[in-house]
Amino acid sequence: MDEMKSRISLDGKKIIIVLPEIKVLSNTIDQSSIKVLDEKNNPLNPIKSGELSEEMSVAEEEQLQKALNSGLLEKAEEGTKKAITKQLLVFDDYEVIFK
């Protein structure tokens, strides 16, 4: 929201809002939610601690792509516009336009 710009139209009847590009700011796995079982005694799926970091990076990227493919950015933009419009309802003489 720090990058959002707004202005009033020359005719004084429109509030024009210019939103910045919607982007993902963070995509990390909560480290405290990861549990490594005893890696010495795991004959079915041996995994070493060093491999865990690589697997987490792959999982983060996969989940980011899944979120983007499901319309995360579009939903975020829609929610942002809805929230801003709701805040500006007090200015009922103005039309809110997003660019």
- Structural domain includes residue 66: yes
Domain count, the chain: 1
**pTM of the full structure:** 0.69
- Structural domain includes residue 85: yes
- Structural domain includes residue 73: yes
- Structural domain includes residue 22: yes
As a whole number, mean pLDDT of residues 89-98 equals 90
CB 29 within 8 A of CB 60: yes
| CA distances (Å), origin 72, targets 19, 22, 67, 78 | 16, 10, 5, 10
Report the pLDDT value the prediction gives residue 56, as an integer from 0 to 100: 82
For 64, the domain range is: 5-26+48-98
- Structural domain includes residue 88: yes
- Structural domain includes residue 36: no
- Structural domain includes residue 37: no
Report the pLDDT value the prediction gives residue 53, as an integer from 0 to 100: 76
